Amino acid sequence: MTGSYSGEPLHTVLRSATREVVLGHDQRFCLIGERINPTGRRIFQDQLRAGDMSAIERDVHAQVEGGADVLDVNMGVPLTDEPDLLARAITMVQELTDLPICIDSSVVEALEAGLSAYRGRALVNSVTAEDDRLAAILPLVKKHDAAIIALPNDHDEIPMEADKRLDLTAKIIRVATEEYGIARADIVIDPLAMPIGADTTTSLVTFETMRRIRDEHGVNMTCGASNTSFGMPDRHTLGAAWLPMAMTAGLTSAIMDTRTPQIVEAVKAADVFLDHDEWGMSWIAAHRAKATATA
């Protein structure tokens, strides 16, 4: 399959009240911090249920320190009022940092509450390819002038063939642009990253999906990078290898572990070799800042 997208690189512009972040195939990789998410964190869930949001403050600082460009905020705690909790978390994160936010929920009312609490241009995470999900979420994205992460799966099953993911990606882009008036630049496709421990071919399918989405549609992409090493030993080394591989396949951002220097530095190094960091200026500046801090 040869590529057909031949336009200028598409830029997805995200904003907080005071700061702008741009995703693009000609831009430095966008690191979205995954940590403000109670999934699999029992203690955090209990704290949130009890109204204690103090862990969020630590998670914000650790990720900002680590080099995050955007923070993902997910408040999916069973048996809570998720719209209320997510709106309060977003308000709190905006008081702690000026990084733009990725609003992460599968509940439409929670996305709506989160968007209402947000000041800026958010990244909404996420919508799938089913008509009813697109009809529920895309008007919200349009109304709030946000960008959207879209997953090429439907009916709760994740297609294991790249062809199927490409078909659903084409559908999402067609519906979002033609029926809801959303700009192609504001559609960020998640090519679906799965645990390598469950199926040894899963990353090959994801990389093929990335290359074809880049070549055929030119849109920006993101994915949950930590999913790939789930259940494996030494997740940091796997993450530090997987992300640069994904970047060469066209991934332009990831929801990822931004607290681990090994992983963040691998991404920054790949930006240098992909000529996304002109003359390595950011790489060199970061090195100098580190040397100054230790002196």
Footprint of ligand THG on this chain (CB under 6 A)?
Answer: 34, 37, 40-41, 74, 104, 125-126, 149, 190, 193, 223-224, 226-227, 230, 255
Cβ partners under 8 Å of residue 81, min gap 6: none
Least Å distance between CB 41 and ligand THG? Answer: 5
The position carrying tokens 């998670």 is 59
**Closer residue to ligand THG in complex, CB, 37/94:** 37
Distances (CA, A) of 69 to 7, 66, 131, 221: 26, 10, 32, 15
CB atoms near residue 140 (< 10 Å):
18
Least Å distance between CB 137 and ligand THG? Answer: 13
192: left (phi over 0), alpha (psi -120 to 50) or beta: left
Least Å distance between CB 105 and ligand THG? Answer: 9
**Closer residue to ligand THG in complex, CB, 94/228:** 228
% helix / strand / coil in the chain, to the nearest 5? 50, 15, 35
Least Å distance between CB 130 and ligand THG? Answer: 16
Question: Considering Cα of 281, then 70, then 185, then 125, what sign does the dihedral take?
Answer: positive
DSSP conformation letters of 272-291: HHTT-SGGGHHHHHHHHHHH
Q: In the bound complex, which residue of the shown chain has the CB atom lying closest to ligand THG?
A: 224
Least Å distance between CB 192 and ligand THG? Answer: 7
**Closer residue to ligand THG in complex, CB, 240/277:** 240
**Closer residue to ligand THG in complex, CB, 68/277:** 68
**Closer residue to ligand THG in complex, CB, 72/277:** 72
